Amino acid sequence: MRRKNIGKMIVLGILTPAAVVAAVVMFVYAVQEPPKQAASVISPAETISVPPQKQDPSNTVTVPIDSGAFSVSAWQLVLVNSESKMPDSFQPQITEAFGVEMDERIVDPYTALYTQALDDGISLWISSAYRSPEKQQELFEREIEQNLRQGLSEPEAEQKAETAVQRPYYSEHNTGLAIDFNGVTDDFKHDDAYEWLLDHAEEYGFVLRYPEGKEDITGIMYEPWHFRYVGPENAIRMNELDLCLEEYIEYLKLHPQEASELST
């Protein structure tokens, strides 16, 4: 997997038992009107919740850690996976764009990405973005039924289903921050559009959410078509460090000084 080398140097902070540092990661992306087109490793303990800019409670996502208190209050970094339910405090701001529904806060970043891709001769289209919890339940049950038809027992069918389709409120698609590209097929990894996204998506705040080799951490099979908005600064740093979102959040907990610098 290719990553664009950004030569940005970050000063890393070090947590010590004698000092507790609170850092808030907050990112704001300027928006425009889009064109029309048809597992946390550390167990919870003490937390601190810092209200984000504009005092919007839907933007507050608290990440607990073992010692000290560090709260990630950026909506871009909300962690949703098989072990992390979408927080009640996170309320997707859904709008329609490009023929699908997505969180309105990622419309302009995606528009910029899409426009640049076109300028570079790359064709992108959205196969799936926001899904309601009801739709997610329907897809999950359909996946179980398919596995049962293959001869798996019910527990096996359900377990296998969770590697491909998450339960309601445990899927990134319920956040409105995830986008599936160009037909949702494994062949997409051989497409020029996939290579372009690996090189340029970070510039617009998107990362490959379920990369190859990280399946044991994300709990999801490699999905070359699934990209997630985390904000440009986070996307660039995640790719530099070769971290998936689960790893990156743990990294920020251990390096609050860097988290603070990324938020400024």
- H helix and E strand count, the chain: 8, 6
The verdict on whether 246 is a catalytic residue reads no
Distance, in Å, from the CA atom of 246 to the CA atom of 194, rounded to the nearest integer, reads 22
Contact 26, 263 (CB under 8 A): yes
- Residues 6 or more apart from 68 whose CB is under 8 A from it? 15, 20, 21, 46
223, 246, 250, 258: the active-site residue = 223
For 45: left if phi > 0, alpha if psi spans -120 to 50, otherwise beta; the answer is alpha
Task: Kindly list the strands in the beta sheet with 206-208, ordered across the sheet, starting from the edge strand earlier in the chain.
Answer: 126-128, 178-181, 226-229, 206-208
Q: Indicate the SS3 state at residue 78.
A: coil
Could you give the residue numbers annotated as active site? Answer: 223
